[in-house]
């Protein structure tokens, strides 16, 4: 990869600054991408403004420049509102061109091939240059014009124009939200919330007999969840859009898309955690029931265009804690933290490590210089647990270890890794706590904490920082079990998640300078409560092939009744006349309406139990009724449906109506920096 | 104690025990049946004298400790000893001459091992054909039993680009069976052409 510092010469800069804001001469050469993205660049329309930032929030400027045939790009300047953006240190800029072997990286048509070992994505002219200026920021609110001017060797200029907005956060009353808690029920649409309520609280004569904790929040709005490149998002942009204020492409987190193959060199945008750590010294806590490298937790702190790059992702959590303030990291995913000197992962090394050079990270110099980020290293042999401990983190491998870590008060920093990959789901963890340890023993982790326990621990650690914190608490397997259309497991995930919501609400009641948000990143599976079983549990077991003939609709569905144990979870989901779930975004499945003893297989587990069905279209095959789906593959998919967001605490009153997921960043920014005019709790 | 689970009639395999034929597991392309001398179609009797039964579930300590997986005392104690192991031949692409993997689950191992964990359990081991280093063993469907000498410790087979916690160096008898199986499959394939 060729990266040279920008050579600024006075004359072209002067000429360009004089010409800034005017049209440049026509040329066959073109600029095919200008970042941050804008409709002004893409279509010529000034609205809607796509890229928006808080005052002072950092982001990268980048352009993909396709020069005339035989020419190369020798230098470039970005202009904002006609003013050249200076790289005063001379180390925040780069020009990236195809540096791989020409025979491999350039096809017969003169276009890049995008093959392994090359620099640029496929389909670009071989002389394309990606030019960047890192870590730009601007304070003045309003829409600003962004222009890039690039010079070819022959002196010809190529230019393009876009725009972005700095969103003013206004003046508040100074009563700021010191603590920000985002509870993210992954994949949790309105139906998931309703199902959790029906199961946990029950209904009588049409009225819910109780409310979920999230139901008690005084403000609720609806969130539009689209990503930069689709009406249907995945979890990476679904989360990062909330905490960057900007849209990302699917599978990408903390970055804008680019035209290079390196997954860690994309143009960055500063996260809420980084912004508030830099501005106010806040800490960051990331808590999930998933593998901690998963898209949602990573989308609080990690900058990469490939959400699957586990080694690099977990390394960055630690390496860049000076940027994010990371103080708590809890979930599954131990496989990424164990040393793997062999750099081979299949089958897993004897210790179960999945670390690999191919998904580790090394940053280009301009990002390191611009953002102050750690450069990274391809080091599968790294013992990351030991490194966390050396950095002062207490390490908890299980629930007992978590309790032990608090024996003498809350530790200053906390790492909890309770499973090799995703943690077991509430259905199986609770069964284990009640004495049926079949599943948790099979996974090898019989002592995993529940999400409310992890939340309580995290808040105790984070609240030690007098400057406040940003926390993300994720109920990850609402989504994962909805993908698998396991209608007994995901409702318990909602209940587990809601118990974490209750912990956060109690914290906010004691600490009124806290804003608590409960939402999702997207809806998953098109879940719908279609009615209830017209059969008893015994009748379903006797005839699991009933399929739709078991579904009672409208008044025949009545009100399913679940008995709740002292631990807060249903004694059984397999009750007579149980609630039945349909899926509008489903793949084929065999349905018995009965619980599966073992969860459907999680391919990320190093040692999946042999009894786990491979997928929903194999689960109950030959036993249940075939329900054909509307999507290909073997799992239900995300949908583009708006999802609810409920808010509690300081600044909560902003979260009403229908708004875009990126709006959440600016509402939080107002609450955290300017303060609200009234305390919404009062 | 109450439990959620409706005890549907499921195949009653135990964790990593590989005691029954493949159920609804990872999809595996259709492979020829294993030679009858190796195929496991019913519960096995006790192993021959001098051979210890080793089950996949006995390879690592459960529950998992605070860090990585750890070998059991039983596994460590069998280093250099003759054992019998029952499992599935991993369908590996590309195959590795003189070796294949034996897994507690029926799985396919592709060569694209770049990012997330693949489906091969941590307890899968290498099987070495000491007298046939160039033999590519054709895929076999179903459970097979193998006896040989166990060598415990991380094994990196460069040609496979993979590591395993142990290698089973086959006895002469099962190696001969595999040699015949390979010839038989090759002959059938030749006829089919």
pLDDT per residue over A613-638, tens digit each? 988 989 999 999 999 999 999 999 99
CB contact under 8 A, B67 and A435: no
Mean local confidence (pLDDT), A174-199 = 97
C-alpha distance from residue A17 to each of A33, A42, A78, A85, A251 (Å): 21, 23, 10, 10, 37
The answer to whether A568 contacts chain B (CB < 8 Å) is: no
In this prediction, residue B30 has a pLDDT band, given cuts at 50, 70 and 90, of low
| List of residues 6+ apart from A660 with CB closer than 8 A | A223, A224
Residue B34 lies in a domain: no
Is the residue at B37 inside a domain? no
DSSP A670: I
In this predicted structure, what is the pLDDT of residue B115? Answer: 42
Phi, psi for A5 (deg, rounded to 5) = -60, 145
d(C-alpha A317, C-alpha A314), whole Å: 5
- The predicted pLDDT at position B25 comes to 34
**Cα atoms in the 13 Å half-sphere on the side-chain side of B110:** 12
Cβ A352–B122 below 8 Å, yes or no?
yes
pLDDT greater than 80 at residue A24? no
Closest among A639, A632, A635 to A619, alpha carbons compared: A635
pLDDT tens readout for residues B99-149: 999 998 887 776 554 444 556 788 889 999 999 999 999 999 999 999 999
Output the CATH code of domain A2-166.
2.60.40.10
State residue A170's pLDDT score: 83
pLDDT digits 0-9 by tens, A242-270: 999 999 999 999 999 999 999 999 999 99
- Tell me whether residue B154 is in a domain: yes
Give backbone dihedrals phi and psi of A296, rounded to 5 degrees, phi first: -70, -55
CA distance A484 to A602: 10
Q: At residue A677, does pLDDT exceed 90?
A: no
Can you tell me the distance from the alpha carbon of A600 to that of A527, in angstroms, rounded to the nearest whole number? 18
Question: CATH code for A179-526+639-674?
Answer: 3.40.720.10
How far from the centroid of its chain's Cα atoms is residue A326's Cα? Answer: 16
Using the predicted structure, report yes or no on whether residue A549 has a pLDDT greater than 80. Answer: yes
β-bridge mates for residue A208, sequence order: A203
Listing from the earlier edge strand, what are the strands of the sheet with A157-166?
Answer: A52-53, A157-166, A142-152, A73-80, A83-84
Q: Is residue B36 in a domain?
A: no
- Out of B25, B60, B120, the one facing A614 most closely (by C-beta) is B25
Q: Give just the sign of the alpha carbon dihedral A626, A194, A454, A240.
A: positive
> How many structural domains compose chain B?
1
- A2/B contact by beta carbon, under 8 A: no
| Residue B153 pLDDT | 77
The predicted structure's pLDDT at residue B159: 59
CA neighbor of A269 nearest in space, from A295, A292, A242, A309: A242
The three-state secondary structure class of B82 is strand
Best residue in B23, B26, B58, B64 for a mutation probing chain A (most A CBs within 10 Å): B64
- Helix (H), strand (E) counts: chain A: 19, 31
What residues in B contact A350, CB-CB < 8 Å? 68-69, 71, 122, 154, 163-165
**Per-domain residue ranges of chain A:** 2-166, 179-526+639-674
A337 SS3 class: coil
Rounded-to-integer distance, Cα A179 and Cα A486, Å: 35
Inside any domain, residue B13: no
Do residues A674 and A536 make contact, with C-beta atoms less than 8 angstroms apart?
no
Q: Identify which of B26, B1, B70 has the alpha carbon closest to the alpha carbon of residue A438.
A: B1
In a mutagenesis test of the A interface, which of B163, B165, B167, B168 is the best target, namely the one with the most A β-carbons within 10 Å?
B163
pLDDT tier, B28 (very low <50, low <70, confident <90, very high otherwise): very low
Extract the tokens encoding A468.
């406040």
Asked if A557 contacts A531 with a C-beta cutoff of 8 angstroms, the reply is yes
The candidate with the shortest Cα–Cα distance to B40, out of B14, B21, B16, is B21
- Chain B contact present for A400, CB below 8 A: no
Tens-digit pLDDT profile for residues A28-69? 899 999 999 999 999 999 999 999 999 999 999 999 999 999
A423 shares contact with chain B (CB less than 8 Å): no
Residue A15 structure tokens: 């000429």
Average pLDDT, chain A: 93
Q: Measuring CA to CA, how many Å separate A421 from each of A417, A606, B21, B117? A: 9, 8, 27, 9
* CATH number of the CATH domain containing B104: 2.40.50.140
Q: Pick the residue of A117, A335, A339, A346 with the most B CBs within 10 A to test the interface with B by mutation.
A: A346
Domain that holds residue B104: 52-112+122-192
Asked if A572 is an interface residue toward chain B (Cβ–Cβ < 8 A), one would say yes
How does strand A73-80 pair with strand A625-627? unpaired
Our CA angle for A387, A388, A393, nearest 5°, is 145
Q: Alpha-carbon distance A196 to A191, whole Å?
A: 9
């Amino acid at each position: 990869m060729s990266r040279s510092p920008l050579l600024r010469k006075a004359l072209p800069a002067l000429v360009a600054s004089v010409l800034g804001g005017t049209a440049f001469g026509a040329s066959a050469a073109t600029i095919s991408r200008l970042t941050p993205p804008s409709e002004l660049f893409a279509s010529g329309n000034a609205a809607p403004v796509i890229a928006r930032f808080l005052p002072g929030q950092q982001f990268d400027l980048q352009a993909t420049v396709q020069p005339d045939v035989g020419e190369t790009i020798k230098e470039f300047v970005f202009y904002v509102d006609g003013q050249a953006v200076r790289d005063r240190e001379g180390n925040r800029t780069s020009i990236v061109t195809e540096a791989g072997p020409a025979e491999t990286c350039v096809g017969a048509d003169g276009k890049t091939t995008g093959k392994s070992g090359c620099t640029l994505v496929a389909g670009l002219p071989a002389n394309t240059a990606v030019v960047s200026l890192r870590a730009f920021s601007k304070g003045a609110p309003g829409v600003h014009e962004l222009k890039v001017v690039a010079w070819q060797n022959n002196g010809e200029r190529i230019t393009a124009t876009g725009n972005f907005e700095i969103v003013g956060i206004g003046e508040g009353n100074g009563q700021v939200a010191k603590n920000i808690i985002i509870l993210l029920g992954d994949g949790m649409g309105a139906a998931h919330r309703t199902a959790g309520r029906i199961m946990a609280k029950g209904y009588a004569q049409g009225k819910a007999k109780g409310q979920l904790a999230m139901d008690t929040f005084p403000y609720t709005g609806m969130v539009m969840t689209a990503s930069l490149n689709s009406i249907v998002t995945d979890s990476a942009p679904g989360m990062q859009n909330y905490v960057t204020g900007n849209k990302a492409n699917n599978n990408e987190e903390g970055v804008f898309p680019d035209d290079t193959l390196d997954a860690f060199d994309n143009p960055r945008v500063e996260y809420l955690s980084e912004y508030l750590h830099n501005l106010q010294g806040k800490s960051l806590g990331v808590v999930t029931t998933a593998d901690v490298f998963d898209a949602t937790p990573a989308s609080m702190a990690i900058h990469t265009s490939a959400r699957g790059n586990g080694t690099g992702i977990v390394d960055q959590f630690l390496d860049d804690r000076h940027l994010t303030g990371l103080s708590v990291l809890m979930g599954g995913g131990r496989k990424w933290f164990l040393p793997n000197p062999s750099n081979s992962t299949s089958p897993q090394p004897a210790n179960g490590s999945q670390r690999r050079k191919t998904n580790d990270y090394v940053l280009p110099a301009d990002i390191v210089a611009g953002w102050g980020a750690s450069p990274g290293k391809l080091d599968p042999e790294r013992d990351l647990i030991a490194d966390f401990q050396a950095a002062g983190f207490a390490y908890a491998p299980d629930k007992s270890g978590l309790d032990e870590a608090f024996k003498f008060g809350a530790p200053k920093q906390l790492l909890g890794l309770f499973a090799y990959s995703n943690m077991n789901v509430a259905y199986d963890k609770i069964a284990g706590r009640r004495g049926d340890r079949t599943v948790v023993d099979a996974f090898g982790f019989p002592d995993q904490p529940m999400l409310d326990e992890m939340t309580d621990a995290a808040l105790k650690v984070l609240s030690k920082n007098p400057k406040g914190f940003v926390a993300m608490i994720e109920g990850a397997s609402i989504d994962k079990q909805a993908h698998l259309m396991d209608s007994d497991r995901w409702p318990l995930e909602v209940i587990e998640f809601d118990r974490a919501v209750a912990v956060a609400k109690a914290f906010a009641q004691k600490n009124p300078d806290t804003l608590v948000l409960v939402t999702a990143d997207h809806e998953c599976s098109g879940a719908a409560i279609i009615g209830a079983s017209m059969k008893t549990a015994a009748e379903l077991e006797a005839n699991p092939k009933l399929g739709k003939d078991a579904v009672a609709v409208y008044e025949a569905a009545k009100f399913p009744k679940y008995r709740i144990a002292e631990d807060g979870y249903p004694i059984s989901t397999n009750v007579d006349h149980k609630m039945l779930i349909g899926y509008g975004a489903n793949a084929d499945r065999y349905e018995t309406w009965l619980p599966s003893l073992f969860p459907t297989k999680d391919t990320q587990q190093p040692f999946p139990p042999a009894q786990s069905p491979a997928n929903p279209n194999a689960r109950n095959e030959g036993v249940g009724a075939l329900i054909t789906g509307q999507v290909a593959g073997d799992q239900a998919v995300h949908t583009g449906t708006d999802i609810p967001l409920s808010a509690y605490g300081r600044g909560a009153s902003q979260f009403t109506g229908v708004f875009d997921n990126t709006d959440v960043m600016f509402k939080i920014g107002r609450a955290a920096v300017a303060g609200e005019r009234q305390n919404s709790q009062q | 104690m109450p439990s959620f689970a409706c005890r549907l009639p499921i195949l009653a395999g135990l964790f990593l025990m590989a005691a029954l034929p493949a159920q609804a597991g990872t999809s595996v392309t259709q492979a020829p049946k294993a030679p009858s001398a190796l195929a496991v179609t019913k519960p096995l009797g006790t192993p021959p004298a001098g051979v210890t039964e080793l089950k996949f579930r006995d390879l690592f300590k459960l529950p998992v400790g605070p860090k990585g997986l750890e070998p059991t005392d039983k596994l460590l104690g069998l280093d250099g000893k003759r054992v019998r192991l029952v499992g599935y031949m991993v369908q590996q692409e590309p195959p590795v001459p003189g070796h294949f993997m034996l897994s507690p689950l029926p799985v396919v191992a592709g060569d694209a091992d770049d990012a997330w964990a693949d489906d091969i359990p941590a307890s899968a081991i290498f099987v070495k054909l000491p007298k046939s280093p160039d033999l590519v063993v054709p895929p076999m469907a179903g459970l097979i039993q193998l006896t040989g000498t166990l060598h415990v410790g991380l094994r990196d087979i460069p040609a496979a680009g993979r590591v395993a916690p142990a290698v089973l160096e086959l006895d002469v008898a099962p190696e001969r069976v595999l040699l015949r199986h390979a010839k038989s499959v090759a002959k059938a394939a030749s006829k089919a052409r």
